[in-house]
Amino acid sequence: MGKIDQLNKAFESRVRLGIMSILMVNDWMDYKAFKEQLNLTDGNLASHISGLEKLEYITVRKRFIGKKTNTSYKITALGKREFQSHINALEKLLNSI
């Protein structure tokens, strides 16, 4: 198995890298903040979040703040492990060049 095979395909997208990077350093991040920080459309962000949620790399919390709905996301323990493994594999790949 080569060094490139150790990379996680779930994180090939720059959007998913951005989502996971933000969640590694923040406990919870709401949808609006993601959209602003990553400069994404609703559809683009929603599809990537949905993919990460299906893999159980992130979890969702829906609640009301006042009378407005708020959807926030948090990285799971599995998500942290998988993302860290991906970053480690990237570092190994870069260091071998």
Domains of the chain and any CATH numbers? 8-95 (1.10.10.10)
The answer to whether the Cα torsion of 89, 8, 20, 41 is positive or negative is positive
Q: How does residue 5 score in pLDDT terms, banded at 50, 70 and 90? A: confident
Provide the whole-model pTM: 0.90
Residues 18-27 have pLDDT tens digits of: 999 999 999 9
